[in-house]
Amino acid sequence: MKKIISALISVYHKENLDPILDLLQAYGVKVYSTGGTQSFLESKNIQVTSVETLTGYPSILGGRVKTLHPKVFGGILARSENQGDQAQLEQFEIPSFDLLIVDLYPFEATLAAGGTPQEIIEKIDIGGISLIRAAAKNYQDIAIVASQEQYASFAEMLSQGRGATSLEDRKILATRAFQVSSHYDAAIFHYFNKDTKASNAFKHSFPEGQSLRYGENPHQKGVYYGDLEALFEQLHGKELSFNNLVDIDGAVALLEDFSETAFAIIKHTNACGMATGISPKEAYLKALAADPISAFGGVIASNRPIDLETAQELDKLFFEILIAPDFTVEALAVLKGKKNRILLRQKQALPAQAQFKTILNGVIWQDQDYKTETAQDLQTVTQRAPSEAEINALLFANKICKHTKSNTIVLANQGQLLASGVGQTSRVDALRQAILKAQTFGFDLNGAVMASDAFFPFPDCVEIAHGVGITAVIQPGGSIRDQDSVDFCDQNSMAMVITGVRHFKH
């Protein structure tokens, strides 16, 4: 245990610091500080020795240089068991420090608030980050509190230690300090690199992780890194699981491609139901009709508020999660009838960000697939052009294709998913799966349309589709045998459009 005799405090956020200050006063700790922190401490009637008095230099360059001085860093980095270090402290009249409390300039908050370039640059902390690293390096002798988030836990640690810290305490604090400094530096790197593109280094930092019940399976550990509360307010239900989060991401991403009233029903990241409608109730019932068996235990999302009529229909089905921008009071009363049912109010759209995942001995990274085709992107390659209703159905089906595991075929009409074949090793298998599902749930495919996430290497898919009544097809094109499929369509009065954009999803 090492008793705290002297402390250096330099913080941006002063809120919630009082419990620590009260303890330092109670244990008779000598306090050093500077600038706004010094003024704050003195307003609390705490006796403070200014850093300027210690160093013999004033704060200069508009506050950019205050603590960067050997009389400060010498007292932080000196090793208590090193006789040479101690001799130099005595020679140069440098006090040693046992505690450093720092809270950095809010760089990320200034950036998020839309600060000017000058404001953002001025929030890059230099002295503070240097103090943190120095104290964390010398954790054998000094305790470091590196952010406002650590004030409360350190106050408890200090109280339990009666004004002293253990080596284990200090090593934990040092670990947290390096996490703060590395996260801070990563944010600054991304700010600069976004404009300069000077480095293709992969750096991503989330300050805190939320432990999940388990990972994809019960024998796997799982953690979520991110700020879920910025996206959703959980109104009811049990704790979200790893698989819940993956499906929520799929549901919300799919709905973002639809501006009209829409419902999506997701199972294992794929849409087993998707529809638009005049009202939320109509859209939900159309989505459910596509596969009411797979919808059991699924994740459901709407881009419109949930009213009582829709809630009453939803309540007839067992599902894990319902996501919507809002819920009426009456709807919530119905939906909260199942204690474990998770109800999420979505606060904002998904942020624009890249995708990455670990594979082999590294990480792969890519831009998100933000391309969503419109009627202007379609090139008719057959003699018969699709009708307006067919174009609407083709674009609808193509959006679902984009968010479905490859290989995939989607069968739809205007505003309703009829069936899809997902995650198959061949496109023909995906089509046959889709046809079987559509027929199982009583859909007549005459006049329906077909979407494919990638080109047709052979005409077999359009041949099979024609056999069940499909009249129009959308696909990226690009096969050396494209003409074979086009020729078959022409011979059988089918319409085909190509987009030139593939939507693989693995």
**Catalytic residue positions?**
137, 268
Nearest to 187 by CA among 110, 135, 102: 110
DSSP string, 197-264: ----------S-EEE-S-SSSTTS--EEES-HHHHEEEEESSPPPHHHHHHHHHHHHHHTT--SSEEE
Instruction: Report the helix count and the strand count for the chain, using DSSP H and E.
Output: 19, 23
- Residue 361: cis peptide before it, omega within 30 degrees of 0: no
User: Which of helix, strand or coil describes residue 282?
Assistant: helix
> Are 140 and 98 contacting, i.e. CB atoms less than 8 angstroms apart?
no
Cα separation, 279 vs 328, in Å, equals: 15
Locate 25 and state its tokens.
Answer: 């006063």
Cα separation, 452 vs 411, in Å, equals: 9
Query: Given its phi and psi angles, is residue 281 left (phi above 0), alpha (psi -120 to 50 degrees) or beta?
Result: alpha
> Are 274 and 400 contacting, i.e. CB atoms less than 8 angstroms apart?
yes
Nearest to 399 by CA among 305, 287, 275: 275
How many Cα atoms are found within 13 Å in the side-chain-facing hemisphere of 268?
Answer: 6
Radius of gyration for the alpha carbons in the chain, expressed in angstroms and rounded: 31
Cα separation, 474 vs 178, in Å, equals: 52
Sign for the pseudo-dihedral over CA of 424, 428, 432, 435: positive
Cα separation, 435 vs 437, in Å, equals: 5
Angle between helices 460-467 and 482-491 (to 10 degrees): 20
User: Which of helix, strand or coil describes residue 458?
Assistant: coil
Cα separation, 352 vs 217, in Å, equals: 29
> Are 346 and 232 contacting, i.e. CB atoms less than 8 angstroms apart?
yes
> Are 377 and 392 contacting, i.e. CB atoms less than 8 angstroms apart?
no
Q: Who contacts 194 (Cβ-Cβ below 8 Å, separation ≥6)?
A: none
DSSP string, 138-207: TTTT-EEE-SGGGHHHHHHHHHHTTSEE-HHHHHHHHHHHHHHHHHHHHHHHHHHHHHH----------S
